[in-house]
A = this chain, B = another copy of it.
Amino acid sequence: SEVKKIAVIAGDGIGPEVVAEAEKVLKATEEVFGYKFETEHALFGGIAIDEKGTPLPEETLEVCKRADAVLLGAVGGPKWDTNPKELRPETGLLGIRKALGLFSNLRPAVVFDCLKDASTLKPEVLEGTDLIVVRELTGGIYFGEKFRRPSEQGEEAVDTCAYNVAEVERIARQAFEIASKRRGKLASVDKANVLETSRLWREVVIRVSADYPNVELEHVLVDNCAMQLLRRPSSFDVIVTENMFGDILSDEAAMLTGSIGMLASASLGEGSYGLYEPVHGSAPDIAGQGLANPIATILSLALMFRLTFGYEDAAAAIEAAVAQVLDAGHRTSDIAVDKSKAISTSEMGDLIVAAI
């Protein structure tokens, strides 16, 4: 079969360690399923600031653009936190999203059986929670005009939040598509009682809903959604919302599952192109010690196989292998009850490879 090109961005902190394990898994699926991949590594985030003087070097963007998909570890760390804006890893993150047109961020929040007790929620509340947050990723207040100006009350800072019909329509359509392939329920989250962008959002979502008569649509105000996620997490199927609300709600949703160290995410553009990364951060405190859990990154690779390449067999095999290794009781230290029995990052990767 055709050779698929994957841009691999290890990034900072535990990024390189977890990405290395995902690359082992990539190799294993080539052997088992006969798929062919070509990987190309690129610098991004803090390490790119250190080595190239910018979080998103032009050549990294080139590598990503000539690839079919991107696998990203994690970026950032205290070392760059006080840098000026242009020299911060986050700036690279916003830049890559915009440059690659990744307008949609999918964050499944599921509960792993072996981590049920890790949640701060009661097990009976969590029972059956399996939702996905579809977050608009290249619009809204993140990318609107920002400036300062003098005012009579001291300096004034301004951020602008804007959405046009086309931007809302494409993300809404994608959320309806996803919902129609799941349990057929879509919660559109906005603040239509206050914001003009939310009123436009709601109008467009309602218009798009006409094409999806089998998807049950509800509109939830963002403050209410923050509450309902806590009160009835299992009642949500797909949640679609704008960039800033999605940032907050997807983190809340991920945390309530207790499984944040195991969650994968996909950022998609037009067509099948996508960037895949674990939900967790770069965890600089445990970097380089073989303590990191590579499962979220490995599951992000599985998501890439499913969503970008349509390699459902390989995706399912990876997910089954992860489940099998966990069922056999193997744990990295972040998820081990008995830390003394914890295995290392590479041992976990090897076990998953063996199970494929």
What residues of chain A have their CB less than 8 Å away from a CB belonging to chain B? 88, 90, 94, 120-122, 125, 141-142, 144, 146-148, 151, 153-167, 169, 191, 193-197, 199-201, 222-224, 226-227, 230-231, 244-245, 247-252, 254-256, 260
Contacts and interface: CB of A to CB of B under 8 A. Distances in A.
A79 to B, nearest CB: 15
A189 to B, nearest CB: 10
Interface core residue of A159, A231, A245, A251 (most chain B CB under 10 Å): A159
Task: For the complex of A and B, list the 8 residue pairs with the smallest distance between their C-beta atoms, beginning with the closest.
Answer: A154-B165, A153-B166, A157-B200, A146-B196, A156-B164, A227-B255, A226-B252, A153-B164
A251 B224 contact: yes
19 contacts: A88-B193, A120-B121, A120-B231, A121-B122, A141-B159, A153-B167, A154-B164, A155-B200, A156-B164, A157-B164, A159-B196, A159-B197, A222-B248, A223-B250, A226-B252, A227-B251, A227-B252, A230-B252, A244-B244
A166 B155 CA distance: 9
Contact of A157 (B162, B224, B230, B250): B162
A310 to B, nearest CB: 29
Given A147-B196, A157-B196, A226-B252, 14 more contacts: A94-B194, A121-B121, A141-B161, A153-B164, A155-B165, A156-B165, A156-B200, A223-B247, A223-B248, A226-B251, A226-B255, A230-B230, A230-B252, A244-B244
Nearest to A251: B223
A231 B248 contact: no
A154 to B, nearest CB: 3
Contacts of A94: 194
A249 B231 contact: no
A158 B196 contact: yes
Contacts of A90: 193-194
A144 to B, nearest CB: 8
Contacts of A197: 157-159
B159 A195 contact: yes
A151 to B, nearest CB: 5
A84 to B, nearest CB: 11
B163 A156 contact: yes
A160 B161 CA distance: 6
A315 to B, nearest CB: 28
Contacts of A255: 226-227, 230-231
B227 A247 contact: no
A193 B55 CA distance: 14
A222 B247 contact: yes
A160 B158 contact: yes
A256 B167 CA distance: 34
Contact of A254 (B156, B193, B227, B251): B227
